[in-house]
Amino acid sequence: MFAVVLALASSLSYGVSDYLGGLKSRVLPLITVLMVSHAVALFAISATLAFTVGEMPDAKYFAYGMLAGACEAIGIAALYQGLAIGKMSIVAAVAATAPMVPVLFSALTGEVPGAIQALGIVVAVGGVCMLALGSQKENEPHALSRPGVSIFFGLLTALGLGSFLLAMDAAAEGSVQWALITARITSVGLFAFAFLAIRPEGDLTPKDWGSLALIGLLILMADSLYAVAATKGLLSVVAVLSSLYPVVTILLARFHLGESLTRSQVTGIAIVLVGAAALSVG
């Protein structure tokens, strides 16, 4: 029961951080949101890991960690951009198919996915197709100024974060702690480089600083809650419950922003989330 609570709390933290990241990206430069929030997460995780980091792993594990950080940077940037300019509910739902990447990679390398995961792929793809068809005539002032923009950024997010899961799994074989901090340093480094290259205009207010810091802390909290939950309960159950975070983002978009959905979009989102939950098993 304790693991279930932790997994659900992890989903809540992920969902709220994604929503806030997308919301702040509507009023602030995307690179500013990414840079500040993830720098806070890096600072927090560095302070925490300073007391727990063990022996340094081999160089190849650091390489995997850097790859994981680069993939995460792409995925998070696509997610926040999609949430900022598209329909949050659709972006969040499509992004939830990220586990499809490691499952398909395993299949290509000779590891046959389980029946539930295979079914999850079919269901998730079907849900995305339904969303694509149901969004062709979308006409809202803010979301989907071009047909399919939400689905595009959702798929790009899934590709980035799915690749992150794959690379992080390899990096964690050397050391979980070093894998986490290496990935975070890499992603923050990439955001810092982009920040210096773009030099976004505008100053942050104290409220902005607080909101961006909260996003970073929620990310760290979500990661930590998931890690503890995975050690306290069945991984299959924890993985499924932790994959429900898009529901939080969707509910916040619906009740806080008043985002509307057609019947076919609601059905498509539900199908995608069921497929994503099935993908997380195994």
Tens-place pLDDT, residues 58-72: 888 899 989 989 998
Q: pLDDT: is 147 or 174 the higher one?
A: 174
Q: Which residues lie below 8 Å from residue 234, measured CB to CB, with a gap of 6+?
A: 3
pLDDT reading at 140 higher than 70: no
Say how many domains are in the chain: 1
Q: Mean pLDDT lowest for which of 143-147, 171-175, 187-191, 226-230?
A: 143-147
Residue 115 · residue 243 · CB < 8 Å: no
Residue 76 · residue 187 · CB < 8 Å: yes
Q: What is the mean pLDDT of residues 111-127?
A: 76
Residue 58 · residue 253 · CB < 8 Å: no
Averaged pLDDT score across all residues of the chain: 81
Per-residue confidence band for 144, with pLDDT thresholds at 50, 70 and 90: very low
pLDDT reading at 80 higher than 60: yes
Q: Which of the listed ranges 1-5, 30-34, 131-135, 159-163 does the model predict with the highest average pLDDT?
A: 30-34
Structural domain that includes position 131: 2-279
Q: What is the mean pLDDT of residues 206-219?
A: 91
Residue 258's identity, in one-letter code, is G
Please report the pLDDT score of residue 48 as a whole number.
66
Token pair for 126 = 């079907």
Please report the pLDDT score of residue 236 as a whole number.
59
- Give the whole-angstrom CA distance, residue 179 versus residue 146: 38
Token pair for 100 = 């499809």
Please report the pLDDT score of residue 231 as a whole number.
64
The percent of residues above 70 in pLDDT, for the chain, comes to 86
pLDDT tens, position by position, 155-198: 999 999 888 888 887 887 887 778 888 888 999 999 999 999 98
